[in-house]
Chains A and B, each alone.
Chain A
């Protein structure tokens, strides 16, 4: 079956711009989580959506937002981009997310570079 698909794979944006990243989960998976990975901070949780509702949120400024659609596809948006937002953004999907016993399947990520 198809894995988690993230688009685009690479993106270059200018400071001050905004960006939207997309994630299509594995078919049947209702939970989608987003993570940011940087060399300095490692992998950090951004937020998680389940059935179109944000269920958990990490410690990121309000410039980072997301949403989930009825087909479980998710988007995240970063407004007023800063140089420090340059990172690999990873999406993970799970059957239930919160319940133990289910692993998360990650996509290959979107590499965002802010110049």
Chain B
């Protein structure tokens, strides 16, 4: 599976959009981009995934660049409860494991 690179941390104001970047320059054509988050001392929570089209669900939006070398997770109206570590993962269907990096720590400030 391709590796991902995320900045270690970022913060945003409550109510504003949080845009979390992820680089995956070695992604191959059959690899999907997944985002999970982990709130302190809880298990990771699935957020969203996509292949090449932008995706949106009730939690977030995922924007994948046309060359698929990077993506951005967007939390449209961040709340204090969105403070967590966010993991960007690329994965093929042939491999069942999730390879977690260090993730990005998002701090939402009041």
Contacts and interface: CB of A to CB of B under 8 A. Distances in A.
A108 B42 CA distance: 5
A87 interface: no
B1 to A, nearest CB: 11
Contacts of B42: 108-109
B110 interface: no
A12 interface: no
Interface residues of B, number: 24
Given A100-B32, A100-B49, A103-B49, A43 B96 contact: no
Nearest to B101: A42
A98 B100 contact: no
Interface in B84-110: 87, 91-102
Nearest to A99: B93
Given A90-B43, A92-B43, A55 B96 contact: yes
B102 to A, nearest CB: 6
A64 interface: no
B94 A98 contact: yes
Interface residues of A, number: 28
B69 to A, nearest CB: 19
A97 B3 CA distance: 20
Contacts of A97: 96
Contacts of B99: 45
A104 B35 CA distance: 11
A55 B93 CA distance: 13
7 contacts: A35-B100, A56-B97, A90-B43, A98-B95, A103-B49, A106-B43, A107-B43
Interface of B: 32, 34, 36, 41-46, 49, 51, 87, 91-102
For the complex of A and B, 6 pairs with smallest distance between CB atoms: A106-B43, A103-B46, A43-B100, A100-B93, A45-B97, A98-B96
Given A100-B32, A101-B49, A105-B46, 8 more contacts: A35-B98, A44-B100, A45-B97, A56-B97, A98-B96, A101-B32, A103-B49, A109-B43
